[in-house]
Amino acid sequence: MKNGNDSDPEKFLWQSFDYPCDTALPGMKFGRNTVTGLEWYLSSWKSTDDPSKGNFTYRLDPSGFPQLILRSGSAVTFRSGPWNGLRFSGFPEIRSNPVYKYAFVLNEEEMYYTYELLNSSVITRLVLSPNGYVQRFTWIDRTRGWILYSSAQKDDCDSYALCGAYGSCNINHSPKCTCMKGFVPKFPNEWSMVDWSNGCVRSTPLDCHKGEGFVKYSGVKLPDTRNSWFNESMSLKECASMCLGNCSCTAYANSDIRNGGSGCLLWFGDLIDIREFAENGQELYVRMAASELGKVKHYLEGGEANERHEHLELPLFDLAALLSATNNFSSDNKLGEGGFGPVYKGILQEGQEIAIKRLSKNSRQGLNEFKNEVESIAKLQHRNLVKLLGCCIHGNERMLIYEFMPNKSLDFFIFDQMRSVVLDWPKRFVIINGVARGLLYLHQDSRLRVIHRDLKAENVLLDSEMSPKISDFGLARSFGGNETEANTTRVAGTLGYMSPEYATEGLYSTKSDVFSFGVLVLEIVTGKRNRGFFHPDHGYNLLGHAWTLYMEGRSLELIDPSMGDTYNLSEVLRTINMGLLCVQRFPSDRPSMHSVVLMLGSEGAVPQPKEPCFFTERNVLEANPFPGEHMLFSGNETSITLLEAR
């Protein structure tokens, strides 16, 4: 309804979009006008055939830092978490896509969430159902009906405060609820009977004395923000100092995670409704008593930043704890050795298994690579990337602490005639898909666009389910800074996996990783290494051999015999085709990892590859583009680094 004398196209006397009832359509606002008091929220029907007001409401709560809260009557049953610049922290699945555009507006006059359609052919609606589920539906013309596209509540961990105060929920763990580090169940008997509602309490109470600091948690849904305060212009360092300066402050985080993070969000009182995500969770810094920081501590303590460590924003492990965990780094605990130095298995006091990479004093892949790995992977969270738990800096000691991978690395199985039988085709295909998704996250979906630069079988670790996790980010590079995305005067990588433009000209991009991925795919299919491959009929490496058989229509001869008849014929042939596309001579001819993931997940036609680059280590050594520089070789699989002459 509009005043006919009013020429303002945005001004209405009344519009249905201001009263959404149980349904939000694209373009509707979801929040409130702080000037007029008008509130836009969802209210459920009483039942599917009774449109009178039901028990549930879903509205933007303005207390503290705004968040969407679902209530049954007055009781909170679910919350979205606060908006972090990209998504609500409780919705890690929300990301940029070609269908929906999400936005959150917070200013002096309005605060609201809205979504728009980028594809006008899509028909969609967001509905609060009579039984209290927030669901998005899309219309399918073919069936003339609505299908469920997504639901805000995904599992039990989305039940509000399931684990109580200072409890954390992980749907993949049993039991789902655990107390945060430095906390114990408030009522142990009830906790053991799977009643977690009373949560956890501190082992050591805060006393606001000097020496208190923070423990960093990564990959979480931020706690309930109704008892919070925020400032959008402060830095994370300023945020930490402000929290330490207020005895009531219990935690802090960035309010906006875009562009490396900005803004300050402080919590006062108990931390409630925390859950852990496999990917796209946030970082939370929880205040701890000084005595609780002995084993795992944050880089900022007592209000004073140690300048030498201030950029290493992840937990620091105490050397004594690592010595105890590894039996003084005994040879029995040694897992192997790479370019960085030896790797040890350790068991912390609480029973957690860890892997420790210890910087060798003789390693030329030294402090710079150590810092780079910390800065690169500390900001990354994905199920197909190995999780960095923390680091240790003590005197000349430099160590990285990772989650322990019980099945070692991919090369341990794939290139061994006896052990390779463990990896049938379904397992190999899962590994290929997992590595592809990990690279896609690095190239496109992470906060920093990262080029790994040393993807190889040795750097793909396998967990207890044989799922892959990309590791070793010592040579990784993020876009930006003085080094462009396409050129460097410091070449580093592994012979057999390096793209031709990178090895001979120092040019690198995401397509350099695509080349390495293609080599890895062909190695997984064949069970043979690219470097050192020998065939009596020709002098080609594995890539040349694969191309020859492909052109002759004999690609099946590439398949590793140890897989037996476990493979799907069309699937393995498509994978070989895709692998050859990834190792094309020119970067522009290689697909992006986004296209690779689509090819792996569909049955459509795969583009025909051109002749790939038959690259050998002799090519690399003879094509050194940086005269006066020397090469480094380290580890079991030869790695090469060209150091800038000085």
Q: What residues contact 166, with CB distance under 8 A and at least 6 apart? A: 179, 180, 183, 199, 200, 201, 202, 270, 271, 274
Neighbours of 595 (CB within 10 A): 17
Rg of the chain, C-alpha, whole Å: 27
Q: Six-digit token pair at 237?
A: 């360092």
Cβ proximity of 453 and 475 under 8 Å: yes
Task: Tell me which of 454, 472, 513, 560 is the catalytic residue.
Answer: 454
Q: What residues contact 87, with CB distance under 8 A and at least 6 apart? A: 94, 95, 102, 280
Q: 437: buried, middle or exposed (CB in 10 Å: 19+, 13-18, 0-12)?
A: buried
Pairing verdict, β 460-462 and 264-268: unpaired
Neighbours of 541 (CB within 10 A): 25
Using the 8-state DSSP alphabet, how is residue 332 labeled?
G
Terminal-residue alpha carbon distance, the chain: 74
Q: Residue 426: is the preceding peptide bond cis (ω within 30°)?
A: no
- Could you tell me the CA-to-CA distances from 201 to 138, 164, 180, 220 in Å, in that order? 44, 10, 9, 19
454 is an active site residue: yes
Residue 601 φ/ψ, nearest 5 degrees: -100, 5
> Strand, helix or coil at 534?
coil
> Strand, helix or coil at 308?
coil
In angstroms, the CA 402 to CA 388 distance is 5
Q: Active-site positions? A: 454
